[in-house]
Amino acid sequence: MIPTSTVPVRITEVCLRDGSHAVAHQFTVEQVREVTRALDDAGMHYIEVSHGDGLGGSTLQYGRSLVDEMKLIEAAVEQCKQSKVAVLLIPGIGTVHELKQAHSLGAKLVRVATHVTEADVSAQHLQVARELGMEALGFLMMAHSAPVDVLVEQAKLMESYGAQAVYVTDSAGTLLPEQVQERVRALRNAVSCEIGFHAHNNLSLAVANTLIAIQEGATRIDSSVRCLGAGSGNTQTEALLAVLERRGVDLGIDLFKMMDLAEDIVAPIMHRVPEVNKGSLAMGFAGVYSSFLLHAERAGKRFGVDPRNILIELGRRKAVGGQEDMIVDVAAELAKQK
């Protein structure tokens, strides 16, 4: 497998953003410094740093951060000699104010994330990011939950707002390989900007799906060292690099240094090992937002309900990111039915 695009594949390491979900948003400044320093030394292209739910995400609903994310962004920027620091922004959670602050601290790239049918709310943030001189990318979350023609329509909107790439975002880790192929190929044929892909490993398909996305022309790829991310984690960076190198694709990132980072630095700070267990598998099966796992487990314990039943019901109701309050409601309703 050789990438079909002539544009080089670039990796955004998401362990310090998506991985924030897995550690209940409790990263310390020193942890961010140490991880960023090692990633930069290994030659990582981009390092995303923010609350798991993006800029402004430290709230009671989404989970309070241990440390103000701006301090974490600043700490990461200070460690980078070659890598660029990226941030995520979900309109309605983060605002232009936080975006400008992150930029002033040295963030070079922003992914503006919306539900797959709500690209129109990204216009202001993408335009401001371009005016600031940042790389501005669109991030269509829960990409499985809309027909392919709707995904294409929404990607075109993001491109028209100034997005330099648009991501197929498998927020639930539920897409099958043929579904990834269909979506990336459709975007490749419909837009002129770059295509990105973000996977979760809830069905144990993240690396395979990412390889298919690259084969179909995706050039902006997300991965997470040691699989540190929400649910079962994301595409594992060091595993992806190893497979790509075996395929003759060298991204300029040192594989052995990434292995060492995973083993010696990231593993000790993980509160839990991202794995395909009954909870995350239920999320992938039901097509539920990956950051719901810890919330569902807490609600299940509180109400004496199997978290899997909560997740399946959330999938039936087509819950999306931002509806974390629904998790408690569903748990309470299920408890009454017992």
Asked if residue 51 belongs to a known ligand binding site, the reply is: no
Asked if residue 171 belongs to a known ligand binding site, the reply is: yes
Asked if residue 18 belongs to a known ligand binding site, the reply is: yes
- Strand 220-223 and strand 46-48: the pairing is unpaired
Distance CA 298, CA 133 (A): 41
Distance CA 213, CA 324 (A): 29
Name which of 240, 173, 263, 184 is nearest 10 in CA terms. Answer: 240
Asked if residue 289 belongs to a known ligand binding site, the reply is: yes
Asked if residue 200 belongs to a known ligand binding site, the reply is: yes
Which residue out of 21, 115, 144, 295 is catalytically annotated? 21
Distance CA 251, CA 270 (A): 27
Helical residues (DSSP H) of the chain, grouped into ranges: 18-22, 29-42, 69-79, 96-104, 123-132, 148-160, 177-188, 206-215, 237-246, 255-261, 267-269, 278-286, 292-303, 307-316, 325-337
Write a three-state SS string for 306-336.
CHHHHHHHHHHCCCCCCCCHHHHHHHHHHHH
Asked if residue 144 belongs to a known ligand binding site, the reply is: no
Q: Sign (positive/negative) of CA torsion 274, 275, 277, 280?
A: positive
Indicate if 144 belongs to the active site.
no
Distance CA 188, CA 168 (A): 11
Burial degree of 204 (CB within 10 A; 0-12, 13-18, 19+):
middle
Q: Residues annotated in the binding site for substrate, as ranges?
A: 17-18, 171, 198, 289
Q: Residues annotated in the binding site, as ranges?
A: 17-18, 171, 198, 200, 289
Q: Residues annotated in the binding site for Mn(2+), as ranges?
A: 18, 198, 200
Catalytic residues: 21
